[in-house]
Amino acid sequence: MTKSPKLFAGSRRQFIGSASATFALASAGLSIPHIAKAASAVKIGLIHPATGWAAYPAAQLRYGAQLAIADVNAAGGIKSMGGAPVEAILGDSQAKPEIGAAEVEKMNEAGVNAIQGCYQSAVGLAASATAAKYNIPFSVDVGVSDKLVQRDLPNVFRMADGYGRIASDASVNLAEINKAAGSPAKTVAIVHEESEFGTGTAKLVTEALAKHGLTVIETIKHANPTRNFDNIALRLKAAKPDIIMPINYPGEYVLLAKTLRQQRVDFMASYSVLGGGFNFKFVEEMPQIAENMIDVNHWYDPSSASGQAMRTRTEADGKYFTFEVYCAYMSILFLVDGFERAGSTDNDAVNAALASSTLNVDFMPYGPTKMVNGQNMGSRAVAIQAQKGDVEVIAPASYASASAIFPRS
């Protein structure tokens, strides 16, 4: 005769003891369901254009996010949830809004507790709206459209800056740099890509520059991808602007810079806003073109020890320390801090915790987080310039590591 399997292998006395202890813990406020949740991982969905034309920035974003997740787990996970580890669920938007939205649906089915994404504003708009249906906390990594945080969606947050304030800051910085040089620049030509990012930023910058006495005399929109920038260079040559302002993605940014040199276009400065191709790689590989080019972008605080340490780690991993890396890292820290303070994965509790975040990310020039309608009001872009093969922060003065070289030498 076989014995029936026992659910509890100990003696009756032990069973009564354990049950009593459990009851006592529950009475003390540590509910059993809560303990059960603490043992399971917190799932964060990462939605990026892993395949398609934006695969490189996507890979950088994934790297930054996964670096942060590894660090959080190495430090003991989410402590208020019993050391719950964070698990990344990867999604590929293929650079398409509808696919990004579909990825959110799949992740919801998979039980994600929060989502980070999506690099492109257009994809972020679709994905975050879908996440709003389920009230899933959604942290925008680097999408700059302000529409992302202007739809009264209580689940959508952005730590980095949006194009409204970036356009304003870029204009202020340019005006100050120009003034310090004796105001030689009067005119600007904008070359921007055709999507929400480029078009929206160009419109805002045009309005902001006018307030500082700088006139936009030419605005040229181009497709993604653009195979040949010769005609654009010729139009710029004919317009003779003092400043050329590219607002585009990496491939086109570099092609435009190369073509301007090939066509001998004369200008005082290339002053890009969110120039996708301006990074350490560009400065290292094409120093003769990059030298003295200026960009206004998300950038880490070079004076912070943690920022320098992250740069060293990233480069040791064979990667360039692009803004995607630390923006994604910051975005994960923000979500984890929300879970930590909420003490649970309940969407309402996490969203409330995120909305009241005061997280101070010391490797960014932001200060303590202050969310207003999902936007971190402490965030700011900085002006950076390629100088002698490196990238220096030239404005604002509080974070500057070097003085601006303007007009370019």
Partner 1 sequence: MFLEVLSLFPAGIINGLMFGAIYALVALGLTLIYGVLHIINFAHGAMLMLAMYMAYFLFKILNIDPYVAILIVTPAGFVFGYTIYRWGIGKLSGGRDQNILLITLGLSIILENSALVFFTGDQQTISLAYSYEAFDLGFLYLSYPKVISFVASLAICLLLWMLMTLTDLGKAIRAVAKQREGARLVGIDVEHVFAVTFGIGVACLGAAGCMLLPIFYVDPYTGNIFVIVAFTIVVLGGMGSIVGALLGGFIIGITESVGGLILGESLGQVGISLIFILILIFRPTGIFGSKV
Q: Which long-range contacts (CB under 8 A, 24 or more apart) does 389-394 make?
A: 389/283, 389/284, 389/287, 389/291, 390/283, 391/279, 391/280, 391/283, 393/299, 393/302, 394/173, 394/177, 394/294
Q: What does the alpha-carbon distance between residue 360 and residue 370 come to, in Å, rounded to a whole number?
A: 10
Residue 326 · residue 94 · CB < 8 Å: no
Q: Report if residue 58 touches partner 1, rule: CB under 8 A.
A: yes
Residue 106's region, left for phi above 0, alpha for psi from -120 to 50, else beta, is: alpha
CB of 351 to partner 1, least distance (A): 33
Amino acid identity at 125: L
Select from 49-57, 121-129, 162-170, 388-396 the region that touches partner 1 (CB under 8 A): 49-57
Q: Which helix (H) or strand (E) holds 162?
A: none
Q: Report if residue 235 touches partner 1, rule: CB under 8 A.
A: yes
Instruction: Return the residues of window 245-264 that contact partner 1 according to CB under 8 A.
Output: 250-251, 254-255, 258, 261-264
Nearest to 97 by CA among 119, 65, 113: 119
Q: Report if residue 389 touches partner 1, rule: CB under 8 A.
A: no
CB of 239 to partner 1, least distance (A): 8
Please say which residue, 29 or 318, places its beta carbon nearer to partner 1.
Answer: 318
Q: What does the alpha-carbon distance between residue 391 and residue 385 come to, in Å, rounded to a whole number?
A: 6
Select from 52-60, 69-77, 107-115, 120-128 the region that touches partner 1 (CB under 8 A): 52-60
| Sole binder of partner 1 in the list 14, 231, 312, 356 (CB under 8 A) | 231
- For partner 1, how many residues bind (rule: CB under 8 A)? 38
Select from 29-37, 82-90, 147-155, 219-227 the region that touches partner 1 (CB under 8 A): 219-227
Q: Report if residue 99 touches partner 1, rule: CB under 8 A.
A: no
Q: Report if residue 298 touches partner 1, rule: CB under 8 A.
A: no
Instruction: Return the residues of window 146-185 that contact partner 1 according to CB under 8 A.
Output: none
How far is the CA of 300 from the CAs of 9, 193, 336, in angstroms? 56, 25, 20
Select from 7-15, 158-166, 281-289, 328-336 the region that touches partner 1 (CB under 8 A): 281-289
Q: What does the alpha-carbon distance between residue 16 and residue 95 come to, in Å, rounded to a whole number?
A: 58
Torsion of CA 45, 50, 54, 58, to 10 degrees: 50
DSSP letter (8 states) at residue 81: G
| Sole binder of partner 1 in the list 158, 165, 222, 341 (CB under 8 A) | 222
Please say which residue, 193 or 340, places its beta carbon nearer to partner 1.
Answer: 193
The site for partner 1 (CB under 8 A) is made up of 50-56, 58-59, 194, 220-223, 225-228, 230-232, 234-235, 238, 250-251, 254-255, 258, 261-264, 281, 285-286, 288-289
